[in-house]
């Protein structure tokens, strides 16, 4: 009987281990606590808290999700974390005050926005050396690389521009004026359109990448909430790109946008001061970081209804999801 009992326990342990290992994990950067919170996207519980550098903001994975890059803004570095162990295994010379960053499609180059220096730093991820510094506008923040890897863009909050960088020559090739205080940039999958949020302008602009001009603007209106509190920041698409979610900052709502019609379908009430967002690989759940309330809201994408609020560290800012293959 004892052998049978031990065998049963071993089987259960293996099953539980497989389930935990196969669950997608959401990583959240906590600005004030200098930590990352790790959330199991199935159980919706914090399963780990990892210390990192000072004032972590932007976070993203490499191509195979084995490494996590962390913008430790007040440490003036980008930290490299081994995803499975949670251990810091290296750093990159990011320049002063790295805010957000983006990887080239092949994972070889990391483009970093340096807010204090008004430059974009380009780092070779293999040699861990700076290969270029490109002068841009005042207070650069948002950063994105085109799907074909030929262009990088950075948004400057004070200059109110999108700056276009040739990724082969590492040269600035154009500037596009957008609305006040652009914070985030995101290429659509085909690479023909760029979405840019303007926090104080209260809009999301869609730019034709070839012409480098604005073709449309999305505006937001929430009954009972003052216009100046509707401040778009983070944007994320569903995997099929039929929907875009836009974090509206101190309005404490996320806008749901039909990407074909560019109409706002609805608004979702989340926590206080929503910064950024991530969607699970299956497109089923949306995770939002709510800075002032110190939590993450989980939304059912099918119903657009919040299903749980998860307490994390102080001032959660960035969020990214590590998808894994499920064994069930």
Buried b (16+ CB within 10 A) or exposed e, 39-59: bbbeebebeeebebbebbbbb
Instruction: Return d(Cα 5, Cα 83) in angstroms, integer.
Output: 34
- What per-residue confidence (pLDDT) applies to 325? 61
- What per-residue confidence (pLDDT) applies to 14? 39
Looking only at Cα atoms, what is the longest distance across the chain?
A: 75
pLDDT in tens, the chain (328 residues): 444 443 433 433 433 343 344 579 999 999 999 999 999 999 999 999 999 999 999 999 999 999 999 999 999 999 999 999 999 999 999 988 898 999 999 999 999 999 999 999 999 999 999 999 999 999 999 999 999 999 999 999 999 999 999 999 999 999 999 999 999 999 999 999 999 999 999 999 999 999 999 999 999 999 999 999 999 999 999 999 999 999 999 999 999 999 999 999 999 999 999 999 999 999 999 999 999 999 999 999 999 999 999 999 999 999 999 998 633 3
- What per-residue confidence (pLDDT) applies to 4? 40
- What per-residue confidence (pLDDT) applies to 16? 39
- What per-residue confidence (pLDDT) applies to 19? 38
Q: How many CB atoms lie within 10 A of CB 312?
A: 25
Instruction: Return d(Cα 68, Cα 211) in angstroms, integer.
Output: 34
Q: pTM of this prediction?
A: 0.92
- What per-residue confidence (pLDDT) applies to 13? 40
């Amino acid at each position: 009987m004892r052998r049978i009992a031990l065998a049963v326990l071993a089987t259960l342990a293996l099953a539980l281990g497989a389930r935990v290992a196969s669950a997608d994990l959401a990583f959240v950067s906590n600005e004030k606590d200098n930590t990352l919170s790790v959330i199991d996207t199935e159980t919706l519980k914090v399963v780990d808290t990892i210390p990192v550098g000072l004032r972590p903001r932007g976070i993203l994975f490499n191509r195979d999700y084995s490494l996590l890059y962390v913008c430790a803004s007040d440490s003036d570095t980008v930290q490299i974390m081994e995803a499975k162990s949670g251990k810091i295994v290296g750093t990159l010379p990011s320049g002063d005050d790295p805010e957000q960053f983006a990887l080239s499609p092949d994972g070889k180059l990391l483009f970093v926005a340096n807010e204090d220096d008004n430059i974009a730093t380009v780092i070779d991820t293999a040699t861990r050396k700076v290969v270029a510094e490109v002068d841009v506008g005042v207070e650069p923040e948002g950063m994105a690389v085109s799907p074909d890897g030929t262009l990088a863009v950075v948004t400057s909050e004070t200059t109110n521009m999108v700056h276009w960088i040739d990724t082969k020559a590492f040269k600035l090739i154009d500037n596009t004026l957008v609305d006040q205080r652009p914070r985030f940039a995101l290429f659509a999958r085909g690479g023909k359109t760029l979405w840019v949020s303007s926090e104080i302008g209260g809009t999301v602009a869609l730019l034709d990448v070839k012409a480098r001009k604005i073709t449309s603007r999305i505006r937001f209106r929430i009954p009972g909430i003052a216009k100046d509190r509707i401040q778009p920041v983070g944007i994320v698409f569903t995997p099929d790109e039929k929907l875009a979610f836009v974090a509206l900052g101190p309005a404490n709502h996320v806008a749901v946008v039909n990407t074909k019609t560019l109409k706002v379908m609805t608004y979702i009430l989340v926590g206080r001061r929503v910064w950024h967002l991530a969607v699970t690989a299956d497109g089923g759940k949306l995770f939002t970081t709510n800075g002032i309330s110190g939590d993450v809201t989980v939304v059912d994408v099918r119903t657009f209804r919040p299903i749980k609020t998860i307490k994390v560290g102080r001032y959660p800012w960035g969020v990214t999801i590590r998808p894994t293959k499920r064994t069930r």
